[in-house]
Amino acid sequence: MPTGPATATGSKRRHLGLLRYFTWTSFLIIAFVFGLSGAMVVYVVHSAYVEIEEDEADSLTEAIVVRMEPIGLEQKKWPGNAEAQRIRRELDAKMANFNIREFTLLALDGTVLTRLGPDTDHVDIKWRRGFQAARNGTVATHWQAEDWWHFIFPSTARRNTLETYVPVRHSGEVVAVAEVRRDLAKTLTRTPALLPRFMGLSAIAGLLVFLSLRIVIRRADRTLREQRAEIERINAQLEERNKFLEEYDQRKDEFLSICSHDLRSPLTGVLAGCQLLLKERKGTLNPVQREIVEQSAKNAAAVVRLTEGLLDMARIEAGQEGLSLERFDPAEVVKESLHAHEEQAHSRGVRFELHAPAGAVTLQADRLKVLRVCNNLISNATKHSQHGAVCVRVEPKGSEVLIVVSDCGMGITPEAMALLFDRFSSLARHKRSRSEGTGLGLCITRALVELHGGRIDVTSEEGKGATFTVTLPLVCEAPKKAEPQEQCESGRQ
């Protein structure tokens, strides 16, 4: 993972970008919520004012019509006596008291019966829909949406009016329509202008919430930057240590390969000398000398097997092991392996049982490597069996063939099963004698099986033996290199 000033700068820019995005996103969200809530409040309060205005206009209309009844509803028929003048003065006072700029009484056909107030310059019906609603018996108030700005800021509503149409009833029937035009500014300023205060308080509250969240995000962002820097530092250390371990592992493999190669040649000479002495071609050995030579030959053979195993593991882990494919019957390879271990089985009182299919099975694989797999498994089964039978079964199964080796030994415990394919595992270290195995046999066996694209499985019950099952494809692909192995064998070797 790259580190240094460039990475730190890039990380800082990313985090600053996140903080900036949070700022703008929060601002937009708060502005949207603030605007939406303001619009909703304006609508609700506007509707409430309209409803109040309709009720008040209805009451005012009823009061004015009641006062007009003594002199008539048609203005042109009003008398000129003192009583009529007094009623007219009372009507003017009531209109001034309730901010009525114009009161017009209309016949159902739209004809003007009476018009009172200073604004009497228009002769037509301004809001036709409201007039029709009043004719049908419904009070209707005209307060256009574009006038909301004056509703929010009453000081700007100087020449705007509320236009309300009220049905005039007689004996339960609508006989006329009253148009009441009231001063908008005076109507609004009679009550406190709460909406601007609400909007201001909402803006302050939104700003406080935004600043609080920004402080929290900034602290969290600082913590994340510190944690990211710490993670990058730890990753850099881990990379350095991984490189060191890889180099160390490579040197270890090279060391084992060199040591194994250099040890095998002199040990082969020692083993050949011991075998020559045991044949007594250079003189007769007394019993003590024979025992010493036999033990030396046995130890030399064990070390030779160990060095060969180390060389094999080094080649497999380096990916240098390939396949030499040929067609053969796996049952014949198993028979060859059983024949090679007959003497070992006879010395331990163990007998072999082979179960093979009646017809020949053709397997395309590396014959020598399959033979080596069989040798390792049969040798292990023979060493761990006590006066019983080692059963070997060859079983074709679809596009695969199974080679199953079962012994009658003491079995494997669940704890030991986990270490079964570990190289140089504790199972190998706990053996009575290192000459019994190198601790690499099953590891190499599994590597050779996987090299063919197969697998090896084991089942066991303590005290009842163990069964190893090798599954190989009938047709292996072109020779491929072995993958590095991380696990190896236990002391079943």
322-473 is classed CATH 3.40.50.720? no
**Which of 368, 323, 369, 327 minimizes the C-alpha distance to 479?**
323
Percent of the chain scoring above 70 in pLDDT: 73
pLDDT at 124 > cutoff 70:
no
Least confident of 112-126, 285-299, 337-351, 455-469: 112-126
Report pLDDT digits (tens) over 134-153: 889 899 887 654 455 555 55
Assigned token pair, 280: 């007594």
Q: Name the more confident of 26 and 452.
A: 452
Give the Å distances, CA to CA, from 10 to 2, 19, 227, 279: 12, 14, 15, 79
Domain with CATH 3.30.565.10 in the chain: 322-473
Question: Is a pLDDT exceeding 60 seen at residue 478?
Answer: no
Q: Which residues pair with 114 in a beta bridge?
A: 105
What is the CA 144 to chain-centroid distance, rounded? Answer: 53
Nearest C-alpha neighbor of 404 from the set 340, 357, 452, 346: 357
Res 9: pLDDT: 45
| Identity of residue 56 | E
pLDDT at 403: 93
pLDDT score of 101: 83
Q: Give the pLDDT confidence of 300-311 residue by residue, as tens digits.
A: 777 777 677 666
Over pLDDT 90: what percentage of the chain? 13
Q: Decide if 373 contacts 445 (C-beta within 8 A).
A: yes
Give the tokens for residue 220: 């969290």
Band of the pLDDT at 487, cuts 50, 70, 90?
very low
Confidence at residue 4, expressed as pLDDT on a 0 to 100 scale = 44
SS3 call for 454: coil
Section 181-210 average pLDDT: 67
331 vs 101 pLDDT, higher one: 331
N- to C-terminal Cα distance for the chain? 43
Q: Please state which of the ranges 192-196, 220-224, 236-240, 352-356 shows the lowest mean pLDDT.
A: 192-196
What is residue 232's predicted lDDT score, i.e. its pLDDT?
92
Question: Looking at residue 184, what is its pLDDT?
Answer: 67
pLDDT surpasses 50 at 427: no
Task: Give 441-454 pLDDT, tens digit per residue.
Answer: 788 888 888 888 89
Record the tokens describing residue 242, joined without a space.
């991984």
For residue 119, what pLDDT is reported?
63
**Least reliable range by pLDDT among 16-20, 128-132, 409-413, 482-486:** 482-486
pLDDT in tens, 358-395: 888 889 998 888 998 999 899 888 888 877 889 999 99
Q: How far apart are CA 465 and CA 384, in angstroms?
A: 8
- Six token digits for residue 311: 């060389």
Average of per-residue pLDDT across 243-253: 79
- The pLDDT value recorded for residue 231 is 93
At 237, the pLDDT band (50, 70, 90 cuts) reads very high
The band of 265, judged by pLDDT with boundaries at 50, 70 and 90, is low
Q: Is the pLDDT of residue 170 over 70?
A: yes
- Name the residue with higher pLDDT: 240 or 1: 240
Q: How confident is the model at residue 490 (pLDDT cuts 50, 70, 90)?
A: very low
Distances (CA, A) of 297 to 259, 287, 429: 20, 15, 22
Token pair of 399, please?
A: 């596009």
SS3 labels along the chain: CCCCHHHHHHHHHHHHHHHHHHHHHHHHHHHHHHHHHHHHHHHHHHHHHHHHHHHHHHHHHHHHHHHHCCCCCCHHHCCCCHHHHHHHHHHHHHHHHCCEEEEEEECCCCCEEEEECCCCCCCCCCCHHHHHHHHCCCCEEECCHHHHHHHHCHHHCCCCEEEEEEEEEECCEEEEEEEEEEEHHHHHHCCCCHHHHHHHHHHHHHHHHHHHHHHHHHHHHHHHHHHHHHHHHHHHHHHHHHHHHHHHHHHHHHHHHHHHHHHHHHHHHHHHHHHHHHCCCCCCCCHHHHHHHHHHHHHHHHHHHHHHHHHHHHHHHCCCCCCCEEEECHHHHHHHHHHHCHHHHHHHCCEEEEECCCCCCCEEEEHHHHHHHHHHHHHHHHHCCCCCEEEEEEEEECCEEEEEEECCCCCCCHHHHCCCCCCCCHHHHCCCCHHHCCCCHHHHHHHHHHHCCCEEEEEECCCCCEEEEEEEECECCCCCCCCCCCCCCCCCC
The confidence score (pLDDT) of residue 486 equals 41
Whole-model pTM? 0.46
Residues 134 and 126 sit within 8 Å (Cβ to Cβ): no
Give dist(CA 31, CA 54) in Å, integer. Answer: 34
Q: 416 is written with which tokens?
A: 């030991």
Q: What are the residue ranges of CATH 3.30.450.20 in the chain?
A: 5-191
Distance CA 394, CA 389 (A): 16
The pLDDT-based confidence of 429 (bands split at 50, 70, 90) is very low
The predicted pLDDT at position 334 comes to 92
pLDDT (average), residues 107-114: 88
Higher pLDDT, 78 or 201: 78
**In Å, how far are 15, 18, 478 from 221, measured between CA atoms?**
7, 9, 55
Question: Residue 434 gets which letter from DSSP?
Answer: G
For 252, the token pair is 């270890």
Q: Please tell me the CATH superfamily of domain 5-191, with its number.
A: PAS domain (3.30.450.20)
